[in-house]
Every structure is written in C-alpha cells, then in structure tokens.
Structure 1
Amino acid sequence: MRLTTVFASAIALIGISAFAASVAPPASVDQRDDSLSRRTVADTDMGTLITRAESPTLKDAINAIHYPESDYFHRDQWLKRIVDGLRDKWPNHNVFAFHRFGGDFKWGVTDKNSMEAEAAFFDFNSKTEYFQVVVFKSAGILERVGGDGGWANWGYSGWYDEEGDKVTFRNPPK
C-alpha cells in the first residue's frame, strides 16, 4: 500500500507541469502542417478555411489554467477545465475543443480572427493525447462523424444549438 502511495506521489511530482502542458510548434514552423488544417463542413457557409498559425495568446491562456491533481488521470475533467477556463477568460466568445485522434471531427468558423491552438494531455500510461482548441466570436460548426462522444473527446461552450453529433454556433452577443 505504501509503495503505491509513494509511486503515485512521485508521478504527480514529476509530471505536474507535463500533465497540463501544451505542445508548442517547433520554432522553425510559422504555420501548422496539413494535419492541423481545418476541414470544410459540406453544405455550410463557413467560407474558405485556411491553415493558420497557432495563437500565442490562446496557448498562454491554456498553459495558465490550473489543474488539480485529481485531473491528471481524467481526460474528461481536464478537457472540461480547458473549455470552462477559456469561456471564463473570453465570456463573449464561443469555444470548442476536440480530440484530434479520438474521433473524426469536421469544423469551421466564420471569424477570420479566431484563436486556435493545440493542447496536449499526458495520461497515466505516458501517452500524449492532442486536442485542437478554438476560441471565436462568430458563427461556426463542430460535427463529430466518428469515434466516441462525451467530454473525453470533445467539449464546447457559448451560443449554440445541438442536434445529435452536430453543434451549430451562433454569433455571440456584442
């Protein structure tokens, strides 16, 4: 029993900053590669969706969110804290985040000034889970077309309507 407690404490001490860290792109990369590009959602007016550079402002906000030790092993709680923390920081914006490899998502926003960043969650098995995070002040859409639902793979906040696996965001109030 004592060995288990010591092991858990050691993991917590070693990984406190790593568990909540975000992954920064290499300094030589100005924009994300195609794997981070947006995908147009068919039959929407989301406009041309171009690859954009990561937002340093959003990246800093993600890094500043406090994670209690209990979240280190619970991806769903971690993701909810990300979405809630960003909603609190930008109350008149829409926010969504989704697991980049835990499901298949289509998404787009009309806000040309949207903030986008990647966040990384390091789970107990030393596996890195990547999430795409978007904060925007416009209409938008997020649709899950495969994988599991729930807070372990996606979360959102703002002004929206849900219909099954599709979330349609409205323009937030001015």
Structure 2
Amino acid sequence: MMACLSQYDNLFNSIPRLLANDYVTREGMATLATLNVLGKAKGYPVWGAPNRVEPFMNEKSPPPVACPSIVNSKALGFPVSKLTELCRFSGTKIYPGKGIRFVCSDSQVFLFANSKCKRYFHNRLKPTWTAMYRKRHKKDIAAETVKKRRRTSVCM
C-alpha cells in the first residue's frame, strides 16, 4: 500500500454510494473514481463483471475486494442522460458543459451556443444566418428549387 493512503483503511466503508434516481451523478462518478484509485493502491484486481455493480451500491454488504472499472458508464451498465438545450438565438443544440448563460435583470435566463449568438442578441441584430430563422421565414432549399423559372421553348 502507498504510504499516503495508509491512513484511509476504512475509507471504503465511509464513501457514499454511486447512484441517485437511476442516473449517474457527479458525486457518483467521483466516488467511483475514488474507489478505483484506492482499490488500485491496495493492489485489488479490476472488477471482472462490469455490468454487475450492485455490490458497490448495496449499503448493507461490504464492498468487494476489487476496484470498479471507470472506463465509461456504459460498461458499468448505468443509464446516462444527455440533456441538450437549445440556443435562444440560433436554435442549435447545446450539450452539457457548453454554451454561455446570460441572466437578465428580470431573472430571465438565456443560453447561447457561442459568443457570436450572444453578441448578435445583445446588439439586437437579425438572426438571418441561423437555421431557425431560415426555417421560420421559409427560406429553405426545397422552396428555392420549386420556385425556379421554367424556360418555354419557342417553335417556329
């Protein structure tokens, strides 16, 4: 065992469990990473059944003498939710951890995809380049192809 971790012999029993409401939380992933580091420091093997995680989550049973794999949450069998939000200006998808959040003085929250969207919104410029504007004002490509003029042939 590493000298710096020798004082944490009972840490496995004091760490909170992994899941909350059937979704992976940041605390759960941090717990999983801590269990992995401590298990490797104690010389435990990696848990052989990545889809069977109930020994790590059951509070009544002691944790197994193994360290969980933290390769990804799918390998552990956890359901992962990717909640995407839409940009209030351009309508593009914004994934968690991305985007710029702006709160007005009236507590209204705006989420922008990038600084260009934020700048155009604050300067009150028209979003003519965005997909949402083009769809709303019927500027899509399919409409342009229908409106093409047809040449009439002249017979003499």
TM over 0.5: same fold?
no
Larger Cα-atom Rg: 2
**TM-score, structure 2 length as denominator?**
0.20
Q: Tell which has more relative contact order, 1 or 2 (C-alpha 8 A, sep 6+).
A: 1
